[in-house]
Amino acid sequence: MPLSIAVKRQRACAALMQQVHAVTDAEGPTPSALHALKLKLVALAARSDLFPLSDFEMPVTQGRNHPLLVEENDGHGLYLTINMPGKEAAPHDHGIWCVNAAVSGVEKHEFYSLTDTGSGTVVKTGEVVVRPGHGMAMSDRAIHSTIVEGNEPAIGLALYGYALARFPAVVWYHPDFGSTRASPSKRLAA
């Protein structure tokens, strides 16, 4: 009897997570390790047959995260993300490393450097377009913004150093208003 798509997806995600731990256990979240994880995540995202939209609920508004494999305690989190056309996020840092890869659609990530901690002033330092066959990786204090480009949803895979339920405070930068804002840390709550 052939395996269901859900079982194939579960096995592929578990295999990826074993590879993730092999890399991060050996060298931590170094730039070269994050690049290696990006390549592995891009390879999994290329298996689009594992991620049919019929298996995932579409967002009611701008975006939705679907847990694929969430480890307990301080483990990693792997999610399928669905973001609608035009969805954007202002410059922010997650406080934890992150790797993204596209299943379909296009999402632009712009990267920033903080020039004034008091006012939250950031300057753009680069950008990466995440589309099928491409991904991005960022360290724990990297600052980025996102926008979904085109007329179709951006469907992708997101791998975080912690599961979303255990995220540290996310810091949002609002240079137009000369301010920053931090969401509450989930580190103690979970």
What does the domain layout of the chain look like in residue ranges?
A: 5-182
Q: What pLDDT score was predicted for residue 120? A: 75
| CB-side neighbour CA atoms (13 Å) of 13 | 23
Q: What pLDDT score was predicted for residue 115? A: 84
Q: What pLDDT score was predicted for residue 173? A: 87
**Cα 76 to Cα 24, 48, 63, distances in angstroms:** 11, 22, 21
Determine phi and psi for 4, rounding to 5 degrees: -70, 160
Helical residues (DSSP H) of the chain, grouped into ranges:
5-27, 31-45
Q: What pLDDT score was predicted for residue 177? A: 67
Query: With contact defined as beta carbons under 8 Å apart, do 74 and 162 qualify?
Result: yes
Q: Read off the amino acid at residue 154.
A: A
Mean pLDDT per block of 10 residues along the chain (190 residues) reads 91 98 95 98 98 92 94 92 95 94 98 81 94 97 95 97 88 76 70
> Alpha carbon 54 to chain centroid distance?
22
Query: With contact defined as beta carbons under 8 Å apart, do 48 and 143 qualify?
Result: no
Q: What pLDDT score was predicted for residue 60? A: 81
What 3 state SS string does 107-148 have?
EEEEEEEEEECCCCEEEEEEEEEECECCEEEECCCCEEEEEE
Q: What pLDDT score was predicted for residue 169? A: 84
User: CA-to-CA distance for 160 and 163, rounded, in angstroms?
Assistant: 6
Query: Which pTM was predicted?
Result: 0.93
Q: Output the furthest CA–CA distance in the chain (Å, rounded).
A: 61
User: CA-to-CA distance for 59 and 42, rounded, in angstroms?
Assistant: 23
Q: Read off the amino acid at residue 30.
A: T
CATH architecture of 5-182: Sandwich (2.60)
Tens of pLDDT, residue by residue over 51-69, are 999 999 988 889 999 999 9
Q: What pLDDT score was predicted for residue 150? A: 96
